[in-house]
Structure 1
Amino acid sequence: MYAYAFLQDFVLLYPVYAVLFADAGLSPAAISSLFVIWSVTTFALELPSGLWADVFSRRSLLAASPLLAGAGFGLWVLFPSYPAFAAGLVLWGAGSALRSGTVQALVYEELRRVGAAGAYARLAGRSEAVGLLGVVAASAVAAPVLAAGGYRAAGAASAAVCAACAVAGWFLPGPRGGGSGAGREGASLRSVVGEGWAQVRGEPAVRWSLALVVVLEGVTALDEYVPLLVRSTGVAAASVPLLVLVVTAGDAVGGWFAGRGVRWLAPVLGAGAVLLAVGSLGGSPGGVAGVAVAFGVFRWAMAAADARLQERIGDGARATVTSVAGFGSEAVAVVVFAGWALGSRWAGAGALMAVAAVPYLVTAVVLGMARRR
């Protein structure tokens, strides 16, 4: 699982693809429209992919996911234009949809099978941290590779890593046959849909957990603009990956501490919101440190919300219900990207990123009030 998580994110184009779009002549609004295409693709495929994961082989879906992304990265560097960027994001979005819900269901059910379901939050959070370390490693390697071979060299390396990730996905634990390994081989799509709907409709705790995951993960889609935020501080293009590395490292630390101190979720989330606003509005490279801590807090909070959701849903439609959360997150992400595109007419990256602190702050207040009640 850790190997899959690392390879999934050891993609040299990750820290610079927004800059690649900009260097190809795209405006902030055009870049945001690409992100909307990306999110809409994932949005449209979230629920079908969850159903497939509850009926067919989860390992096959996890092996196919990085292959689609790798094909998209190849398109970007071979044909750097708006249509190629859009097609690549469609492929990447399809791959993300295949993985969303599938990996959580596979991990939780395998842990429960061996009597270790309580370790889910820690394993999931640390897998996220390992994945982010992959981003850190990719960010560190990206600068010299870009200097030596440009975007084409970074794209070729990214596609090769995606192929290696597919191999790791094929060797994840669990049966190779259809279903989740929990006796779902004979399940139909219709029965899985019915079971998932019953869980969401009949359990208020499931609905509240879904809402928390949707908000936290959806707003965090703004991490796609971190390279543009860094660039807005006035640093050279070659230094962007190194400062993005700082934010990614903070994100990874938050994932590593997943499962600890969850009772302090509301105040810590509120503090993260404040740090995001202050660091973004600073307009200097030093403010990136505050943004890094904020993203670490958000990663930690997302792991807590995911664990809470997995504890409350049943196995019969686990991937499907988890994909509902992904579906909602993508819907929020589309709104976020559209808001950035609109706001970019009047404000810079720092101000727009600071606005993203508001939903986190509101969520922290709601959680605090609910805890007191």
Structure 2
Amino acid sequence: MARTLYAYSFLDDFVLLYPVYALLFTDTGLSVGEISSLFALWSLTGVLLEVPSGAWADAVSRRLLLWVGPLLTAVGYTLWVVHPSYWAFAVGFLLWGTRGALASGSLEALVHDELVRLGATARYPRLMGRARAAGLLGVMSATGLAGPVLDAGGYAAVGAASVGACLLTAAVATRFPEHRGAAEEPPEAWLATLRSGMAAVRGDRRVRAAVLLVPAVTAVWGALDEYTPLLVREAGVRDAMAPYFLLLIGAGATVGGLLAGAAARVGTRGLAALSAGAGVMLAAGACWGTALGLVLVAVAFCGFQLATVLVDARLQERLDDGTRATVTSLAGLGTDVTTIGVYGLYAALSVGGDHARAFTVLAVPYVLVAVRLVWSRRGRG
């Protein structure tokens, strides 16, 4: 299963359109407002479908959703390059948002349940950490190849490569094992599954705390990742050198994923220290305002990625198999909603182009998360 997981994660993010689709929109004649409306549509689709798709995964088949999703994005990318227009881009984002919702919760639940069957749940943090690292390697590889492919064949070539990656992702997804024995049969109705998942969150304080911790850790840095090119430019890095610093930050996050196995036994205090340390590094790196400061940002992203894997593992440990994807999707919904809020807050903080200030202020929540973790641990003791 591990090889299938790593291949799936790499191919799922090996999309050459990622680093250039904003250029495609601009070259098609879209305004900044129209592009922003597409991003909002993309986010809203994920918010609306996140939890229902998780319940569907519990009630039907998690593997099914993992291979259907990439086919939807393949259709969307085809529309983008064959008939570039606002409405084609909108349909593509609807399909992309649906694909993201189908995978969110389904992948984690499938992997964890298979490890339960094998009696190897302790391997979960290491496997998911490496999977996230594989996905980041896919992004970096696609970023490196997008420019030459665009020069050679234009958007048509980049789109064709992206569609091909989606088809390969779907093919790999069919290789995932999925064993759901008689004791693990899903509920008869999708609605019953959804109700069971909601009841699990309401009725178990530990599950509820773990669900809330996921967006608290993952949303802010996930949103800030979209703005790192602006921080790099503000630090005085020439545009020609900017991709290398972006790769440095991406490499930091990749290392964080690879460290998850070794850090799997980190307790609440360790997680609190990790969150606070990464927040301080982010603030210091942003305030430094130089290229050297970006090294600290890369270290912070390493910590954030590691914390993201650890809080996901903590959540999975507290769930039962029948509602695992549903509850994981609830955590994903919290992340989506919080991320949208971070986008709005960033826009307000960066008025006048002060991106360092926005990064610094948005590092504070990680210190607050650390305080909350320590407080909750003492209260339980």
CA contact (8 A) 1:128 1:255 kept: yes
TM-score normalised to structure 2 length: 0.87
Q: 1:344 to 1:20 in 2, by over 3 A?
A: farther
1:55-70 alignment runs, 5 A limit: 55-70=59-74
Q: Which residue of 1 aligns with 2:152?
A: 148
Please report how far the alpha carbon of residue 89 of structure 1 lies from its aligned counterpart in structure 2 after TM superposition: 2.1
The answer to whether the 8 A contact 2:271-2:370 is kept is yes
Deviation for aligned residue 1:362: 1.4
SS in 1 for 2:152: helix
Query: In structure 2, do the counterparts of structure 1 residues 98 and 21 end up closer, same or farther at CA, with 3 Å as the change threshold?
Result: same
Cα deviations across residues 255-313 of structure 1 (Å, max 9, x unaligned)? 11114342321122112112222333444444332222211111100111011111111
Name which of 267, 270, 276 aligns with 2:273: 267
Q: 1:174 offset after TM fit, Å?
A: 1.2
Matched residue SS, 1:91 = helix
Coordinate RMSD, CA, aligned: 2.6
Q: Distance in 2 between matches of 1:144 and 1:32?
A: 27
Greater displacement, 196-205 / 302-311:
196-205
Report how far residue 24 of structure 1 moved: 5.9
8 Å CA contact 1:140, 1:245 repeated in 2: no
Give the distance between the partners of 1:18 and 1:277, measured in 2 at CA: 28
Contact 2:349 2:357 in 1 (8 A): no
Q: Does 2:94 correspond to 1:93?
A: no
Letter in 1 for 2:150: L
Per mean C-alpha deviation after superposition, the further-off stretch among 144-153 and 194-203 is 144-153
Aligned runs of 1:313-324 on 2, under 5 Å? 313-324=319-330
Please name the residue that 1:189 is paired with.
190
The one-character-per-residue Cα deviations of 1:85-121 (angstroms, maximum 9, x if unpaired) are 4332222111000000000110000110011112111
Deviations 1:121-169 (A, max 9, x none): 1111111111111112222222332343444432321221111001001
Aligned position for 2:216: 215
Q: What is the rounded CA distance, in whole Å, between the counterparts of 1:229 and 1:147 in structure 2?
A: 27
Distance 1:23-1:287 versus aligned 2 partners, 3 A rule? farther
Which residue of structure 2 aligns with residue 107 of structure 1?
Answer: 111
Deviation string, structure 1 residues 170-228 (Cα, Å, up to 9, x no partner): 111115xxx79863255212321232122111111001101100222222233222334
Distance 1:67 1:315, change over 3 A: same
Q: Distance in 2 between matches of 1:113 and 1:39?
A: 35
| Contact 2:71/2:170, CA 8 A, preserved across alignment | yes
SS in structure 1 opposite 2:376? helix
* 1:267–1:368 contact (8 Å) kept in structure 2: no
Question: 1:328 Cα deviation (Å)?
Answer: 0.9
Question: CA separation of 1:243/1:158 partners in 2, compared to 1, >3 Å: closer, same or farther?
Answer: farther
Matched residue SS, 1:313: coil
- Tell me the amino acid that sits aligned with residue 291 of structure 1: V
| Conservation of the 8 A alpha-carbon contact between 1:46 and 1:323 | yes
Are the counterparts in 1 of residues 59 and 189 from structure 2 also a CA contact under 8 Å?
yes
- Per mean C-alpha deviation after superposition, the further-off stretch among 120-129 and 136-145 is 136-145
Q: Distance in 2 between matches of 1:348 and 1:325?
A: 31
Does structure 1 conserve the Cα–Cα contact (< 8 Å) formed by 2:51 and 2:333?
Answer: yes
Distance 2:126 2:294 in 1: 27
Does residue 35 in structure 1 map to residue 39 in structure 2?
yes
Q: Percent of aligned pairs with the same residue?
A: 48
**Bigger mean CA offset, 80-89 vs 34-43:** 80-89
Contact 1:2 1:130 in 2 (8 A): yes
Shifted more, 321-330 versus 70-79: the winner is 70-79
Which segment drifts farther, 46-55 or 225-234?
225-234
Name the structure 2 match of 1:298. Answer: 304
Closer/same/farther in 2, CA of residues 153 and 286 from structure 1, 3 Å limit: farther
- The amino acid across from 2:345 in the alignment is G
- The residue type equivalent to 1:13 in the other structure is L
Q: Which shows bigger deviation, 196-205 or 65-74?
A: 65-74
Change over 3 Å in CA distance of 1:185–1:310 after alignment to 2: closer
CA distance in 1, matches of 2:212, 2:345: 20
2-structure distance, mates of 1:323, 1:125: 19
